[in-house]
């Protein structure tokens, strides 16, 4: 019997999360993973194509820079043609940006150095053309106050106060960037971390908009962080303002080591 | 009997045209005018509120800077509150940006000096988040060639070659700007004219993308213009890439004169 070698493909993906029940496959519901795996099965003529992603986005959350891996056999000959055929099968709210053979040791979930998300709010008249990915906010936001309040959150902390707790999983993360900018009436928060716990970005944003609209003092987010327990006063903002923009991976020769390290850290409760 | 004076309101409006059968009211179909007039009737408690707009957008065409007038009585006291109440009644794909008392002589349709539209195409992987207002174009576009081809179209011409002819209506217009820019894989055409005939922007764009993808020489659009008859080789690009961005009005003391002049010109067959 011939032994055909499996190869790992890296798929870069963008989607409008509005009509999806999130990334992860769920029976009877439309999910990005479900649509992508069905498209891969059709185009590659296989019965199963199990994908792994960098950021398991929730219902309604969008992505411009999602990264996925899938192991296939035999190796597809024409990856540009494969990209085109996948886009021909997928609905227009998911687009494959690129399919490439993954470097040795690449793991979409465990190799990343960081994930970058954007959260967008409009505190003026919402633009109907961007209403699917920009949250309408009914009160004016003070971006300087939000920036000041964000500073103490940067660095290595236990983010338990901003996370939906999961049994046996660490909530220690390194927050690399948390920056607020305004362009006319659209306020954007860029949030970058090694990894995120569940609901972490949307809780951070919920906490900071309370400062931005003057309901809470600038010191409040830092105090919430230091308490290290879920604070019911922090609201989780709606998913549709959130977009996974980019995932950063190390150079190819560090991919495997990074994955081993991240796997170990994630398991440490 | 008391005689209550009617006042004219100016309404600035934005909408996602995707779910509308265009601006103009049509029985049994959802239109922007239909939705807006119903909202005005509800909020102002009147039985009819006849609106007039600056640009009668077709099915699927969007607007960020549509301008409308409506005559009402009595004069509403709180125009900020009226804006908020209209937005409370309207669906999220139409937003009233502002309601103001119109200056004397203001006519949304006949007072404008110019209308500015944008047509957006993506010749790379389409972004799912903007797919509603950016047309996916499957072949690379040469923006420099499109700019060169646009130059001879500027100025006062008979644009019959680019218009759906209407009995007794002039097709002479002044094209003030026709400029192409690229930002990564999104190509935007900004088109400004005193007024537009039916299908004019979408025909101009259809003609110019034929140059942009190398199917036609740079001289072709100028030749089509000079022929002054509808050219079946010019395709009308789809509506959803088109957005009415802005309408320019003269200073208040010239509004009435401008309207008189525009009305006379429009009637000249």
Q: Which two tokens stand for residue A151?
A: 């500073």
Instruction: Confirm whether B71 is a catalytic residue.
Output: no
**How many angstroms away from the CA of A95 is the closest CA of chain B?**
7
CA separation for the pair B41, A174 (Å, rounded) = 55
Say which of A15, A87, A131 has its CB closest to residue B92: A131
For chain A, the average pLDDT equals 94
Burial of A225 per CB tally in 10 Å (0-12, 13-18, 19+): buried
pLDDT, average across residues A243-257 = 95
Residue A105 has pLDDT above 90, yes or no: yes
Contact B134, B187 (CB under 8 A): no
Looking at residue A268, its pLDDT comes to 56
Residue B46: pLDDT above 80?
yes
pLDDT at B152: 97
- The pLDDT assigned to B47 comes to 86
Residue A126: list chain B partners with CB under 8 A. 92, 95
Average pLDDT over residues B3-22: 93
The full set of domains in chain B, from first to last, is 7-102 (3.30.70.580), 114-247 (3.30.70.660)
Q: Which residues of B touch A15 (CB under 8 A)?
A: 128
Q: Is B63 helix (H, G, I), strand (E, B) or coil?
A: strand
- With vertex at residue B190, the alpha carbon angle to CA B188 and CA B196, rounded to the nearest 5 degrees, is 130
Name which of B192, B188, B176 is nearest B143 in CA terms.
B188
Q: Give the model's pLDDT for residue A18.
A: 97
- Residue B14 and residue B1: Cα distance in Å, rounded? 39
pLDDT tens column, A83-104 = 999 999 999 999 999 999 999 9
For an interface test with B, give the residue of A129, A136, A139 to mutate (most B CBs within 10 A). Answer: A129
Residue B268 has what pLDDT? 56
The predicted structure's pLDDT at residue A257: 92
Omega before A74 cis (within 30°)?
A: yes
pLDDT digits 0-9 by tens, A45-72: 988 899 999 999 999 999 999 999 999 9
At residue B80 the predicted structure's pLDDT band, cuts being 50, 70 and 90, is very high
Six-digit token pair at A178?
A: 């948390």
CA distance A79 to A249: 21
Q: Is the pLDDT of residue A131 over 60?
A: yes
Q: What percent of chain A has pLDDT over 90?
A: 87
Query: What phi, psi does A248 have (nearest 5°)?
Result: -100, 130
Bridge partners (DSSP) of residue B2 are none
Which residues make beta-bridge pairs with A178? Answer: A191
The pLDDT assigned to B264 comes to 85
Q: What is the pLDDT of residue A74?
A: 87
Residue B269: predicted pLDDT: 43
- Note the helical H segments in B152-243: 200-212, 220-227
Report CA B134 to chain centroid distance, whole Å. 16
Q: Which two tokens stand for residue A139?
A: 């009160």
CA atoms within 13 A on the CB side of A130: 17
Residue B144: half-sphere exposure toward Cβ, Cα within 13 Å: 0
Q: Could you give the CA distance from residue B202 to residue B244 in angstroms, rounded to a whole number?
A: 12
Q: pLDDT-derived band of residue A269, with 50, 70 and 90 as boundaries?
A: very low
Q: Is the pLDDT of residue A132 over 70?
A: yes
In the predicted model, is pLDDT for residue B194 greater than 50? Answer: yes
Instruction: Note if the pTM is more than 0.90.
Output: yes
**Of B92, B125, B128, which has the smallest distance from its Cβ to A128's Cβ?**
B92
pLDDT of amino acid A164: 81
Residues shown for chain A: 269
Q: What is the ipTM of this complex?
A: 0.91
Question: Which of B18, B129, B131, B186 to probe the A interface (max A CBs under 10 A)?
Answer: B129
Whether the predicted pLDDT of A224 surpasses 90: yes
Report d(CA B198, CA B123) in Å as an integer: 26
Facing residue for B132 by CB, picked from A14, A129, A136: A129
For tokens 């207002």, the residue is: B133
Q: Nearest chain A Cα to B18, which residue? A: A129
Query: By the 8 A CB rule, do B109 and B24 touch?
Result: no
DSSP string, A161-229: GGS---TT---EEEEEEEEEEEETTEEEEEEEES---TTHHHHHHHHHHHHHTTSS-TTHHHHHHHH-S
Can you give chain A as a three-state secondary structure string?
Answer: CCCCCCEEEEEEEEECHHHCCCCCCCCCCCCHHHHHHHHHHHHHCCCCCCEEECCCCCCCCEEEEEEEEEEECCCCCCHHHHHHHHHHHCCCCEEEEEEEECCCCCCCCCCCCEEEEEEEEECCCCCHHHCCCCEECCCCCCHHHHHHHHHHHCEEEECHHHCCCCCCCCCEEEEEEEEEEEECCEEEEEEEECCCCCCHHHHHHHHHHHHHCCCCCCCHHHHHHHHCCCCCCCCCCCHHHEEEEEEECCCHHHHHHHHHHHHHHHHCC
Band of residue A167 on the pLDDT scale cut at 50, 70, 90: confident
Catalytic center residues of A: 58
Instruction: Report which of A42, A64, A65 is spatially closest to residue A34, judged by C-alpha positions.
Output: A42
Q: CA-to-CA distance for B203 and B217, rounded, in angstroms?
A: 17
Question: What digits encode the pLDDT tens for the residues A175-189?
Answer: 999 999 999 999 999
- Residues whose CB falls within 8 Å of the CB of residue A211, separated by 6 or more in sequence, listed in order: A142, A145, A146, A149, A217, A218, A220, A221
User: Of the listed B12, B16, B35, B58, which one is catalytic?
Assistant: B58
Distance CA B263, CA B269 (A): 12
* Cβ–Cβ gap A128/B243 under 8 Å: no
Q: Return the beta strands (E) in B73-148 as ranges.
A: 94-101, 114-122, 135-136
């Amino acid at each position: 019997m011939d032994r055909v070698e499996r190869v790992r493909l890296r798929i870069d993906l963008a989607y409008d999360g509005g009509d999806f029940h999130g990334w992860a496959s769920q029976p009877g519901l439309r999910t990005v993973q479900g649509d992508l795996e069905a498209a891969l099965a059709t185009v590659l003529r296989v019965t199963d194509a199990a994908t792994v992603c960098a950021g398991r986005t929730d219902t309604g959350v969008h992505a411009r820079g999602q990264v996925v891996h899938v192991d296939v056999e035999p190796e597809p000959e024409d990856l540009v043609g494969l990209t085109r055929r996948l886009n021909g099968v997928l609905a227009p709210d998911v687009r494959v940006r690129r399919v490439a053979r993954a470097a040795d040791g690449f793991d979409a979930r465990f190799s990343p150095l960081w994930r970058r998300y954007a959260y967008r709010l409009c505190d003026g008249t919402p633009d109907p053309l961007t209403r699917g990915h920009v949250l309408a906010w009914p009160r004016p936001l003070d971006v300087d106050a939000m920036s000041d309040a964000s500073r103490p959150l940067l660095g290595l902390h236990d983010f338990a106060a901003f996370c939906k707790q999961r049994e046996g999983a660490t909530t220690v993360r390194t927050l690399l960037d948390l920056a607020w900018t305004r362009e006319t009436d659209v306020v954007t928060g860029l949030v970058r971390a090694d990894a995120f716990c569940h609901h972490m970005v949307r809780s951070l944003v919920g906490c900071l908009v309370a400062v931005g609209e003057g309901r809470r003092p600038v010191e409040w987010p830092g105090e919430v962080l230091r308490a290290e327990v879920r604070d019911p006063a922090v609201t989780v903002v709606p998913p549709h303002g959130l977009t996974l923009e980019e995932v950063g991976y190390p150079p190819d020769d560090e991919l495997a080591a990074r994955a081993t390290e991240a796997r170990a850290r994630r398991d440490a409760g």
